[in-house]
Amino acid sequence: MESSSAETGALMCNSLDAGDGCVMHQLLQRCRRSEEHDNMLKKIETSEEEMSDEASLLNINTNRNQDKGRKSHIQSKKKSSSGYISKHDITHQEEEEAFVQGSRHMIMLFVPVTLCMIVVVATIASVSYYSETNVYFVYTPFHDKTEDTTTIVWQSTANAMILLCLIIVMTLVLLTLYTFRFYKIINGWLMIASVILLFFFGFVYLQQILRAFNVPMDYITVSLLLWNFGVGGIFCIHWKGPLLLQQAYLIVISAFVALTFIKHMPEWTTWAMLGVLVIWDLFAVLYPKGPLRLLVETAQQRNEPTFPFPALIYSSTMLWQITVADSDQTELDKKQNLPNKSGERESRPLPAASGEFSAQGTTSRSAGAAQPPLNRSPMPAAGAQLPSTSAQIQSAGAHMPLLATDASASRNEEKMSELNVMSKQDFPRDVASLMDSSDVDALDSPFMAKTSFESDVDDLNELGDGSPTDPPAVTSKKPKQQQSKSAHLLHHRHSRPSTKPSHTDRSKSVTDDKEDRGVKLGLGDFVFYGVLVGKASAKGDWNTTIACFVAILIGLCCTLLLLAIFRKALPALPISLTFGLVFNFATSILVKPFMESLASEQVYI
C-alpha cells in the first residue's frame, strides 16, 4: 500500500511539473532564480494575470469539491455528494462552519487583547506616573486646564484633527513606500521604531515601576536587563524566536504605546481621538480608495502573501513572515518533539524570503536549502495589509484593520501564481504546497483557516477534499495522504536526508501554511483598546473598567462575526471602540452612582 501510494505521488509530481523534469534541473533553476529575484517577481505577476481567468473557474471547482469532500467525509444525510451544488447552499454551509471555526479564532484574539488590557490597567492602577499628564505630545498643542465646556470641545477636536492628519500622512507615506516597493525603507522604519519602543519606552517603564514600588536598582543591572529585553524583542519581532515570545513582545509594545498615549494626551483629546479613529478606520478600510484598503489590494495584486510586516500585526498563529519555514519547523518541533529537527534548523541557511515562497512554509524551506539566503526586503511586501507603520504607532495612532484572508478571487490568483512558481521548481514539495494552496482556497473564510493547535490529519483530509487545482489527485482523503507522503518521501531523498518528516509532519506543515492566513489583528487595535480601558481605569472606578473590557470583547466578537460573513479586511476599531465609548460614559455617569450606593448599602441586585 505504501509503495503504491508513493508511486502515485511521484506520478503526480511528474505530471504537475511535466515541463521540467529532474530535480537537479530545478535546483539549478532555483539558484538562478534567486539571483534574478526581481525577474521572478515580475514573472509571477504576469503569470497571475494569465491565470486570472482560470482562477475563477477554479474557484467554482473548489467550492464544489470542498462540498463534495465534506459530505463524503462526514457522510451527512444530505444527498447529491457529486454534481453541482447551488451557490446559496455552499455559502450557507460555509457561513455556519465559519461561525464554529470562528469561536476558536475569537479566543485566540481575546487572550492577547485581554493580556494587553491587563498590563495597561495594572500599570495605571499601580503607577501613578502614567495617569497624571504634565508633558503633552507635540501633536496636541491645545491643552488648557479649564472646566469650560466650549474650550474643551474645540481644543480636543482640534487636537484630534491634528492627530488624525498625522495618521493620514503616515499612512499615505507607508502606502507610497509600499507602492513603489521601497521595502528596505519600510523595514528600516519599523526597525527603528521598535528599537525606540523597546529600549526607550522600556527604560521609562522600568524606571517608573521601580519608583512606584520603591525598589533601588543600579544602572548596570538596569542596562543589562534592558539590553537583553530589547535585543530579544528585536530578534523575536523582526527575525525569529519562539512564537509565544514574539506574541508577548508585541503585546508589551502595544501596552507601552497605549500607556504613552494615556500619559501624554489631554483627557478629552483622548476621547475625541478615539471617536475620530472610529470614523477614520471605517473610511480607510472600507472605502474603495481608502489608503488601508489600497494597501491590502496592492499586496494581493502583487501576489504577496497576506503577511504583514511582523512588527505591526498580531497574528493568532504564525508571525514569522520572514522565516515562515522556520516557524513551521518550530511548530513541528514543539508539537512532535523531534529532536533532530532543531539541529537541522540551525544548519539550514536562512530561508529565502520572497513573498511567494513564504506563502508556503514548505516551499520556502526547501527553497532556502537550495538558495543562498536572500535579502529579505521583498518580505515586508507581505505586509501590504498593514495599514500602519510603527512610527504611527509610536507617534500618532496606527490602527490596522482586522485582516482576513481575502476574497477567493484574489486568493485564487495568488494560488495560481504559487502553482506556477512551484511547477517550475518541480520540487516534490510542490505537491504539498499545491494542496496547501488549494486548501487555502477551499477555506475562503478567514475562520476556516485552522489553528495550529488543532491541526491534524483530519484537517488535511478536509483540505485535500477541497483541492481544486488537481482534482484527480485529491478527491478523497486517502489520495491526499498518499500524495503528501510521497511528496515528503521524494523531498527527503533529494534535499535533506537528515530529516524524517512523518506523515503527520507533512500534514502539519500543510495546515500550518493554511493557518498563516488566520485572523490577524493590527497592533494599533491593541493600542487603542488599551488606551480606552486604561483611560477608563484612570478614573479609579473598576466598574467602568470592567464594562469597557466586556464591551470591547463583545465588539471584537461582532467584528469577527462580520469577518466571517464578509470575508475581507475589516476595521477592528469601529464596533469595539463604539461599544467601549458608550459603555465607558454610560457606566461612569449612570451606573457608577447606582452601583456605589448599592455597594455601600450592601444591597445586591
In the bound state with another protein, the residue whose beta carbon lies nearer, of 77 and 289, is 77
In the bound state with another protein, the residue whose beta carbon lies nearer, of 134 and 602, is 602
**What does the alpha-carbon distance between residue 394 and residue 35 come to, in Å, rounded to a whole number?**
36
Which H or E run includes 556?
helix 542-566
- Provide, rounded to whole angstroms, the least separation between the CB of residue 595 and another protein: 6
Q: Could you count the other beta carbons within 10 Å of the beta carbon of residue 437?
A: 28
- Provide, rounded to whole angstroms, the least separation between the CB of residue 101 and another protein: 7
Residues that bind another protein (CB under 8 A): 70, 74, 76, 96-97, 99-101, 103-104, 106-107, 110, 454, 456, 458-459, 462, 540-543, 546-547, 550-551, 553-554, 557, 583, 586-587, 590-591, 593-599, 601-605
Residue 321 contacts residue 308 (beta carbons within 8 Å): yes
Cell of 221: 543591572
Burial of 498 (C-beta count, 10 Å sphere; 0-12/13-18/19+): exposed
Cell of 305: 502573501
Burial of 248 (C-beta count, 10 Å sphere; 0-12/13-18/19+): middle
Residue 507 contacts residue 456 (beta carbons within 8 Å): yes
* Residue from 459, 512, 516, 525 carrying the catalytic annotation: 525
In the bound state with another protein, the residue whose beta carbon lies nearer, of 305 and 555, is 555
Handedness of CA 576, 577, 581, 584 (dihedral sign): positive
- Provide, rounded to whole angstroms, the least separation between the CB of residue 110 and another protein: 7
| Pairing relationship of beta strands 570-571 and 401-402 according to DSSP bridges | antiparallel
In the bound state with another protein, the residue whose beta carbon lies nearer, of 110 and 283, is 110
**What does the alpha-carbon distance between residue 395 and residue 390 come to, in Å, rounded to a whole number?**
8
* Residue from 17, 67, 281, 406 carrying the catalytic annotation: 281
Q: What is the DSSP string of 414-434?
A: HHHHHHHHHHHHT-THHHHHH
Q: What is residue 375's DSSP assignment?
A: P
In the bound state with another protein, the residue whose beta carbon lies nearer, of 103 and 340, is 103
Radius of gyration of the chain (CA): 25
Residue 74: CA count within 13 A, CB half-sphere: 12
Is 525 catalytic? The answer is: yes
- Provide, rounded to whole angstroms, the least separation between the CB of residue 530 and another protein: 18
- Provide, rounded to whole angstroms, the least separation between the CB of residue 589 and another protein: 8
Cell of 526: 491593541
* Three-state secondary-structure class, residue 209: helix
Residue 402, phi then psi, degrees to nearest 5: -70, 130
- Provide, rounded to whole angstroms, the least separation between the CB of residue 351 and another protein: 31
- Provide, rounded to whole angstroms, the least separation between the CB of residue 131 and another protein: 15
In the bound state with another protein, the residue whose beta carbon lies nearer, of 30 and 450, is 450
Residue 310 contacts residue 520 (beta carbons within 8 Å): no
Is 516 catalytic? The answer is: no
- Provide, rounded to whole angstroms, the least separation between the CB of residue 73 and another protein: 9
- Provide, rounded to whole angstroms, the least separation between the CB of residue 70 and another protein: 8
In the bound state with another protein, the residue whose beta carbon lies nearer, of 361 and 555, is 555
Identify the bridge partners of residue 403 per DSSP, sorted by sequence position. Answer: 520
CB-based contacts of 197, cutoff 8 Å, min separation 6: 253, 256, 257, 390, 393, 394
In the bound state with another protein, the residue whose beta carbon lies nearer, of 97 and 525, is 97
In the bound state with another protein, the residue whose beta carbon lies nearer, of 147 and 601, is 601
| Pairing relationship of beta strands 313-315 and 520-522 according to DSSP bridges | antiparallel
* Active centre residues (catalytic): 281, 525
